[in-house]
């Protein structure tokens, strides 16, 4: 007996839907009669699904509209907070970037000073050797004594130490990023070749069972659909 779509409530639809798996398990398509019966069941399932849409879609729509409204209200309240957070984070980021710039600058100056000192010592040693070779032994010894005194003099500069930013309640983590400068200079070890799936899809759709592409298997996965014309 057909059931009127307009008189079916949620509970009735649920009961009818739950009965279909058992009916489907009993289907055995062996001849035209059983094929017709299976076809009728598919049509009936399609009709039931339309009834499900008719009952549940309004409920879903109402819930969706309520959900959208709730999200809109939340965004309205969150917007000024996100704006304030962005402004403060920008200030924090600028300050931390400046600290890092100063640290790198200090380390650069220290390296330059150490390099200049090393070159100066090498030059003094060269002068001492030259004086020795010219017979000025006293001058050579005086130069070597000066170099020895400088080497044994404790350095006044203390090691550069930078305390980590103190931000209680706020996490701080380095995040290194990158961007392209010249793709042609990137080594092959950082490049990756992958199959062009869009070309493969096009070839399979075009050639179908005649497709001949090494490395893939082409198969037919049919889609079965039914039109709702009557109720099962």
User: What residues does each domain of the chain span?
Assistant: 5-154
Question: What CA–CA distance (Å, rounded) separates 81 from 9?
Answer: 46
The single residue listed with the structure tokens 């924090």 is 92
Residue 119's contacts (CB-CB under 8 Å, 6 or more residues apart) are none
pLDDT attached to residue 2:
42
Q: What is the pLDDT of residue 17?
A: 92
State the pTM of this model: 0.44
User: Average per-residue pLDDT in the chain?
Assistant: 81
Report the pLDDT value the prediction gives residue 5, as an integer from 0 to 100: 43
The tokens describing 35, both together, are 């094929």
Please answer whether residues 20 and 38 qualify as being in contact, where contact means their C-beta atoms are separated by less than 8 angstroms.
no
Q: Could you give the percent of the chain with pLDDT greater than 70?
A: 79
Q: Are 43 and 226 in contact (CB under 8 A)?
A: yes
Residue 132: predicted pLDDT: 81
> What's the Cα-to-Cα distance from 220 to each of 209, 211, 227, rounded to whole Å?
8, 12, 22
Q: What is the mean pLDDT of residues 79-90?
A: 91
Count of C-beta atoms within a 10 Å radius of residue 40:
14
* pLDDT band, residue 232 (cuts 50/70/90): very low
* Mean pLDDT in residue range 96-116: 87
């Amino acid at each position: 007996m057909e059931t009127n779509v307009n008189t079916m409530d949620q509970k009735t639809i649920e009961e009818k839907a739950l009965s279909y798996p058992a009916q489907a398990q009993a289907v055995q398509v062996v001849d035209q009669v059983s094929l017709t019966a299976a076809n009728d069941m598919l049509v009936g399932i399609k009709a039931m699904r339309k009834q499900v849409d008719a009952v549940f879609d309004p409920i879903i729509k109402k819930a969706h509209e309520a959900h959208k409204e709730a999200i809109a209200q939340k965004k309205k309240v969150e917007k000024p907070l996100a704006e304030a957070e962005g402004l403060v984070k920008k200030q924090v980021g600028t300050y931390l970037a400046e600290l890092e710039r100063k640290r790198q600058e200090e380390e650069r100056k220290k390296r330059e000073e150490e390099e200049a000192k090393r070159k100066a010592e090498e030059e003094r040693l060269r002068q001492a050797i030259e004086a020795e070779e010219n017979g000025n032994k006293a001058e050579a010894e005086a130069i070597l004594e000066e170099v020895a005194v400088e080497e044994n003099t404790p350095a006044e500069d203390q090691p550069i130490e930078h305390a980590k930013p103190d931000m209680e309640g706020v996490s701080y983590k380095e995040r290194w990023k990158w961007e392209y400068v010249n793709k042609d200079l990137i080594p092959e070890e950082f490049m990756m070749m992958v199959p062009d799936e869009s070309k493969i899809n096009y070839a399979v759709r075009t050639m179908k069972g005649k497709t001949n592409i090494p490395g893939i298997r082409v198969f037919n996965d049919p889609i079965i659909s039914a039109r709702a014309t009557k109720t099962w």
